[in-house]
Amino acid sequence: MLKSVLALLRRDLRLAIRHGGESLMPLLFLFAVLILVPLGVGPGPNLLSAIAPGMVWVAALLASLLALEGLFRPDLEDGTLEQWWTAPAPVGLLVATRLFSHWLITGLPVILFAPLAAQMLYLPDHALPVLLLTLLIGTPILSLIGGLASALTLGTKRGSVLLSILIFPLVVPVLIFATGAVSAVADGLSPRAHLGLLTSLLILALALAPLATTAALKLNVE
Amino acid sequence: MIWQKIKVGFHKLGSPPIFYRLCQVLSPWLWAGFAVSLVIGLYYALYVVPPDYQQSDSFRILYIHVPSAWQAMAGYLVMSILAVIALVWRIRTTEIMAMAAAPIGAAFTVICLATGSIWGRPMWGTFWAWDARLTSMLVLLFIYLGIMGLYAAFEDKRKGARVACILILVGLVNIPIIHFSVEWWTTLHQGRGISFVGESTMDASMKPPLIWMIVATKLLFTAALLDRSRNELIDQDRRKGWIRRKLGASV
């Protein structure tokens, strides 16, 4: 069981490294959005630092959408996905593994480069640790919800537009609590309530999303 | 004995011809009931109830706004129950009903949002505010639209219905979360003014038309649900023998 999970993880990461540039696209997209913001709303430091938590989060959300199209579709087309049902590990675990590697490829780079993004938008220094913490808790939720949506749209021809419509209502709470936590710290308040709620969202998503994703994949593979 | 009969009766509803017949029989009665309760409700709402001491006549839009808001949410609940039945027992007629419920629920959500912003303009001075209830209704609308879009994107209607049923249940888990997350965010919308158990902050004279209008929206939802399901059944089974016989051999 562990062997097939590790094999899948190794394969996914190796593919991501060999594709190189393609795997970096979400990160580049994140910075493209963040560079457009000061140009669009004006470079005033007061305005930018006020909207910084929200902008970093919206950019992270948009960046996470980019890699979703390739999450299950190539595997469906070449038949690898059907093999999951014959693997010695439960499919839910393989789905969770795939989502974990998706997070390593798209979520982790965003967290690593978030300090730079925060500097670009003049986020107050004392709010940075909390921003990183919300990204650490929140980006896995984005991967889980994104994986669910891409599994649901797998059987359709043009999935990508539909994908963003499905994801938008589901990620509203993540966005509210994450930016709420960062704004609270920037205003000198405690972010603990927001962080606690965000963590409970992560636990809920971890428990339920792989199940629903597996059910949706099964319907689309049949 | 009776239990057995009820059980058999429910099982029979899984058969498209029997379900079709039931829709055909019930639908005129539901529409008639809707028309009667709508006329009574609107008459009381527009002529009998005295004007509000603060909002004068403009509060009367409440009699459309509140029942459609309730129905938008109750419709989601009905749709979720149908989705569970469809996913667990794989009954085709409930799949069709769940998919027929989504556009009706979306329509009630749009009515609620539209009347709310018409009401909000004179009372709050703005058509839209990023308030808890408004935002959660907007998100509910997008969940409805997502369900409709997902179902429409599939060529195989049964597969599409089952996948969309999963999304319905995901949305069901998410709706209370969205509701509370935006609740703690900012708030302008007033609290609940009416309750059926205990004290109501609403004046007693305002209540009867509201109850009539709530009955009317429930009947409208059910009537539209049955009609839409029947139309969908005709559309999907149009090449099958039983539907040709129902509609006459000319089809």
> Hey, is the C-beta of B166 within 8 angstroms of any chain A C-beta?
yes
Q: Do the chains contact at A162 and B146, CB–CB below 8 Å? A: yes
> Hey, is the C-beta of A158 within 8 angstroms of any chain B C-beta?
yes
The total number of residues written for chain B in this structure = 251
All residues of chain B having their beta carbon less than 8 Å from the beta carbon of residue A176 are 181-182, 185
pTM for this structure? 0.89
- pLDDT value for B196: 47
> Would the pLDDT of B219 be above 90?
yes
Gap from A146 CA to chain B (nearest CA, Å): 13
Give domain status of residue B1, yes or no: no
- Going by pLDDT thresholds of 50, 70 and 90, the confidence category of residue B202 is low
Residue in A162, A168, A216 nearest the CB of B142:
A168
**Chain B residue with minimal CA distance to A178?**
B181
Q: Which domain holds residue B233?
A: 16-248
User: Residue B181 belongs to a domain with what CATH number?
Assistant: 1.20.120
> Would the pLDDT of B193 be above 60?
no
Number of structural domains (chain B) is: 1
Gap from B238 CA to chain A (nearest CA, Å): 24
Give the pLDDT confidence of B26-53 residue by residue, as tens digits.
Answer: 999 999 999 999 999 999 888 887 777 6
- Going by pLDDT thresholds of 50, 70 and 90, the confidence category of residue B251 is very low
Residue in A157, A162, A212 nearest the CB of B149:
A162
Amino acid letter for position B24: Q
Residue in A155, A169, A173 nearest the CB of B154:
A155
Give domain status of residue B4, yes or no: no
Cα atoms in the 13 Å half-sphere on the side-chain side of B48:
15
Give domain status of residue B8, yes or no: no
ipTM higher than threshold 0.90: no
**Chain A residue with minimal CA distance to B170?**
A212
Taking all residues of chain A, what is their mean pLDDT, rounded to a whole number?
Answer: 88
**B 54-93 residues with CB below 8 A of A?**
87
> Hey, is the C-beta of B145 within 8 angstroms of any chain A C-beta?
yes
- Probe site for chain B from A152, A161, A208, A218 (most B CB atoms < 10 A): A152
Give domain status of residue B3, yes or no: no
> Hey, is the C-beta of A54 within 8 angstroms of any chain B C-beta?
no
Q: How many CB pairs under 8 A join A and B?
A: 75
Give the pLDDT confidence of A164-180 residue by residue, as tens digits.
Answer: 889 989 998 899 889 88
Taking all residues of chain B, what is their mean pLDDT, rounded to a whole number?
Answer: 85
